[in-house]
């Protein structure tokens, strides 16, 4: 087998460079690939018979996925990363300045360094295919584009379109890419190679000129003069700071790098990009985001069973019990994957409501042009309903999303089991009830498993799969594979009240509630946690989730874990007054006609223990109390084997409950602060609030033995 990533073939006067990294599913840039590129460009340079070239991928679905992230782990300093960036710049420059102009023939993902290479080419052709997407996703890893992207992209598509891509890392599809001038031409995948060779020949002969990008009139006015550009930069900076609350320095660094290209010479622009790439690569934020990248990649290959994983069985159709909020969400994401869904509820009205809710989710995708009208019709037609289990007999899996009451869960399980085939899986979406309890009444408890989706199902990326000691390994692998098919990041956890995500959320929410009990203002608590990096504050979260649901969950948790997880008085009082949160347009906040949050509901204070009497507690104390309650509980989850390893808990916390990604997750946070310090802080809090902050035994032992959750060096997972 060839160890070469690049091969060169001559088609008359056009050289075709094919990138096909051996033994890898995708093409990535590494130092050795860049050295190969260098050699090939030299060969092309020296062969006067070659007039032009084409760069194409040998992989079926990827052009170039970017740089090899493993290489980033080798950086020992910011300077190392800056040097690597400068090395990349030299290659891209050779590509750009090549005597024989190069055409990028793009099919599939063209990401990061891949897009930067394409931008250095003289002409870009992309296939009109859903797999063909272009992006500079570096900021998602806490980095900035380091191979010329911050310089060449604005020159190619204009400042605003470039900032939109660089600051979000979002994918741009082929059609949009043509519109903004990112590619010059779209073709059918079958024609890509042929047309690319033809265009290369025309470029070589001078009969094809690179087309000038067409700006809109508004962009012209804004971007094509220094004052307009200053406005664009200022607005982008303000927006970025507001959105990121200063937690993502790569966003500002990317803006600075783009700006340097406008204010100085091209050399200065590239030098600034390399310098800032280095600074970001050495930053703690990037370290945590890269950890999360590795962790989620590793999870994709992990089926959550000990030893050899049995092959997952195909799940081609499912049943969904309960067409409420969650049932409809689960049905919608299944239909999106082409999986027929049989809905069951107690009345036809409920079934109709469920189908209407599925339609709303799909309609939203249609409006956003994520699917075509035909796809919308096809997907919607996959969902049908019943009130009496007709159509359930042959189903390989049924997901249960009925009321959160053990009696109802037992009832539906008892009704279903005699109907279903022996090998069918009963997956419950309960948010708090132990699966073992639900499986108690089952004839086939080995076929019962937890499938805990988060709300809203179509938006939240995490799925917690909960297994009991009786769940069969094949049921686990099948459920995990099915969850992945639905597009979810799946963690497998062991059974206990609250599982993992809700277990660690409970003490955090309780602590926020206790701050309310003590008289801290609602928005003070929420703002403190937003500043820590959570996407929404804990009191807002109560309103969003529903105060009734939070109350139920809190009761389950305190019944299971006693005083440590006792809900706050405030929650009980607000619930007792009939406030349900956003869905009832009355909670801790006021909601307008459209359900939009419109400030704190000052009248709620009269219900709280201190009434209108306010206490001031410093922001860092608020943060410490809420976060330490959570991470201490997370450590208990490792101690008790709820999560199989810290990696799963970190991913679960970030993707399930919004733990700040730039902190990597609760275990990464404990390692960063230091186990010894965390234990000391917990002990101090425990003297002030006895019982709630007792450091768990695992943390105490780790502190004594100088251990961490992750090794300090090497690949993070």
> What is the binding site for ligand NAI (CB under 6 A)?
321-327, 344-346, 350, 401-404, 408, 411-412, 429-431, 453, 455, 545, 549
Least distance from ligand NAI to the Cβ atom of residue 489, Å? 16
Instruction: Check 464, 474, 511, 544 and give the catalytic one.
Output: 464
Active site residue 446: no
Least distance from ligand NAI to the Cβ atom of residue 578, Å? 17
DSSP string, 362-402: HHHHHHTTSS-HHHHHHHHTTEEEESS-TT-TT-SEEEE--
How is the beta sheet containing 6-11 ordered, strand by strand? 6-11, 14-19, 52-57, 102-106, 123-127, 185-187
- CB neighbours (10 Å) of residue 418? 7
Least distance from ligand NAI to the Cβ atom of residue 591, Å? 18
Cα–Cα distance, 262 to 151 (Å, whole number): 9
The CA–CA distances, whole Å, from 303 to 300, 421, 477, 628 equal: 8, 24, 5, 31
Q: What radius of gyration, in Å, describes the C-alpha atoms of the chain?
A: 28
Least distance from ligand NAI to the Cβ atom of residue 508, Å? 16
The CA–CA distances, whole Å, from 553 to 506, 558, 565 equal: 8, 9, 11
**Residue number with CB closer to ligand NAI (273 or 345):** 345
Least distance from ligand NAI to the Cβ atom of residue 249, Å? 34
DSSP string, 403-414: -S-HHHHHHHHH
Phi-psi domain of 711 (left: phi exceeds 0; alpha: psi -120 through 50; beta: other): beta
Structure tokens at 68: 């090899």
Pairing relationship of beta strands 14-19 and 6-11 according to DSSP bridges: antiparallel
List Cβ neighbours of 294 (8 Å cut-off, separation of 6 or more).
69, 715, 716, 717
Of the candidates 321, 345, 364, the one whose C-alpha atom is nearest the C-alpha of residue 458 is: 364
Least distance from ligand NAI to the Cβ atom of residue 544, Å? 9
Q: What residue is closest to ligand NAI based on CB?
A: 324
Q: What backbone phi and psi angles, to 5 degrees, belong to 18?
A: -105, 125
The CA–CA distances, whole Å, from 631 to 65, 285, 634, 646, 708 equal: 35, 19, 5, 11, 14
Q: What backbone phi and psi angles, to 5 degrees, belong to 28?
A: -135, 150
**Residue number with CB closer to ligand NAI (8 or 408):** 408
Three-state secondary-structure class, residue 328 = helix
Pairing relationship of beta strands 318-321 and 185-187 according to DSSP bridges: unpaired
Q: Are 250 and 138 in contact (CB under 8 A)?
A: yes
The CA–CA distances, whole Å, from 65 to 164, 353, 369, 425 equal: 20, 42, 25, 37
Q: Which helix (H) or strand (E) holds 182?
A: none
**Residue number with CB closer to ligand NAI (8 or 387):** 387
Least distance from ligand NAI to the Cβ atom of residue 429, Å? 4
Q: Are 343 and 355 in contact (CB under 8 A)?
A: yes
Residues acting as catalytic residues:
464
């Amino acid at each position: 087998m060839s160890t070469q990533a690049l091969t060169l073939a001559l088609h008359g006067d056009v050289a075709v460079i094919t990138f096909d990294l051996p033994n890898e599913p995708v093409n990535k840039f590494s130092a050795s690939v860049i050295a190969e590129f260098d050699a090939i460009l030299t060969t092309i340079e020296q062969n006067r018979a070659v007039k032009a070239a084409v760069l194409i991928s040998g992989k079926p679905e990827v052009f170039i996925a970017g740089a090899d992230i493993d290489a980033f782990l080798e950086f020992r300093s910011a300077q190392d990363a800056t040097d690597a960036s400068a090395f990349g710049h030299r290659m891209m420059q050779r590509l750009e300045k090549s005597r024989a102009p190069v055409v990028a023939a793009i099919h599939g993902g063209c990401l990061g360094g891949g897009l930067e290479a394409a931008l250095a080419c003289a002409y870009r052709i992309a296939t009109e295919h859903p797999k063909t997407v272009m992006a500079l996703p570096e900021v998602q890893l806490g980095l900035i584009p380091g191979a010329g992207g911050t310089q060449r992209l604005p020159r190619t598509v204009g400042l605003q379109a470039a900032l939109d891509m660089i600051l979000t890392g979002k994918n741009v599809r082929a059609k949009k890419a043509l519109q903004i001038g990112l590619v010059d031409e779209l073709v059918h995948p079958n024609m890509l190679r042929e047309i690319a060779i033809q265009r290369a020949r025309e470029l070589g002969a001078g009969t094809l000129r690179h087309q000038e990008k067409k700006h809109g009139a508004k962009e012209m006015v804004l971007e094509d003069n220094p004052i307009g550009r200053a406005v664009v930069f200022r607005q982008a900076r303000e927006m970025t700071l507001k959105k990121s609350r200063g937690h993502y320095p790569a966003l500002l660094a990317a803006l600075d790098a783009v700006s340097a290209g406008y204010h100085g010479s091209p050399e200065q622009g590239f030098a600034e990009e390399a310098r800032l790439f280095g600074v970001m690569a050495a930053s703690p934020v990037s370290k945590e985001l890269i950890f999360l990248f590795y962790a989620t990649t590793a999870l994709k290959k992990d089926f959550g069973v000990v030893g050899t994983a049995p092959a997952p069985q195909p799940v081609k159709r499912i049943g969904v019990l309960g067409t409420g909020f969650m049932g409809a969400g689960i049905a919608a994401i299944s239909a999106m994957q082409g999986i027929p869904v049989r809905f069951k509820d107690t009345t036809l009205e409920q079934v109709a409501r469920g189908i209407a809710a599925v339609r709303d989710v799909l309609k939203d995708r249609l409006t956003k042009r994520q699917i075509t009208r035909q796809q919308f019709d096809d997907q919607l037609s996959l969902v049908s309903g019943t009130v009496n289990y007709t159509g359930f007999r042959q189903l390989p899996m049924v997901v249960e999303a009925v009321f959160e009451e053990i009696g109802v869960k037992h009832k539906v399980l008892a009704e279903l089991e005699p109907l279903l085939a022996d090998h069918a899986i009963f997956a419950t979406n309960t948010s708090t009830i132990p699966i073992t309890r639900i499986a108690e009444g089952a004839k086939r408890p080995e076929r019962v498993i937890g499938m805990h989706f988060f709300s809203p199902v179509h938006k939240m990326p995490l799925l917690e799969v909960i297994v009991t000691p009786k769940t069969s390994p094949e049921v686990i692998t099948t459920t995990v594979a099915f969850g992945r098919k639905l597009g979810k990041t799946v963690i497998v956890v062991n059974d206990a009240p609250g599982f993992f995500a809700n277990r660690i959320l409970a003490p955090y929410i309780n602590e926020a509630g206790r701050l309310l009990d003590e008289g801290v203002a609602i928005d003070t608590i929420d703002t403190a946690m937003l500043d820590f990096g959570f996407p929404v504050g804990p009191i807002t979260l109560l309103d969003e989730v529903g105060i009734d649901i939070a109350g139920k969950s809190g009761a389950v948790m305190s019944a299971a874990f006693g005083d440590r997880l006792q809900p706050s008085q405030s929650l009980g009082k607000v619930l007792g007054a009939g406030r349900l949160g956003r869905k009832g347009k009355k909670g801790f906040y006021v909601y307008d006609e459209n359900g939009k949050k419109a400030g704190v509901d000052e009248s709620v204070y009269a219900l709280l223990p201190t009434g209108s009497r306010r206490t001031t507690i410093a922001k860092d104390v608020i943060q410490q109390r809420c976060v330490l309650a959570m991470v201490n509980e997370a450590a208990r989850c490792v101690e008790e084997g709820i999560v199989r390893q810290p990696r799963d808990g970190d991913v679960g916390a970030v993707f399930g409950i919004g733990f700040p990604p730039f902190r990597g997750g609760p275990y990464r946070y404990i390692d960063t602060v230091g186990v010894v310090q965390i234990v000391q802080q917990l002990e101090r809090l425990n003297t002030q609030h006895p019982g709630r902050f007792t450091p768990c035994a695992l943390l105490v032992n780790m502190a004594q033995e100088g251990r961490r959750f992750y090794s300090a060096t090497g690949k993070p997972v």
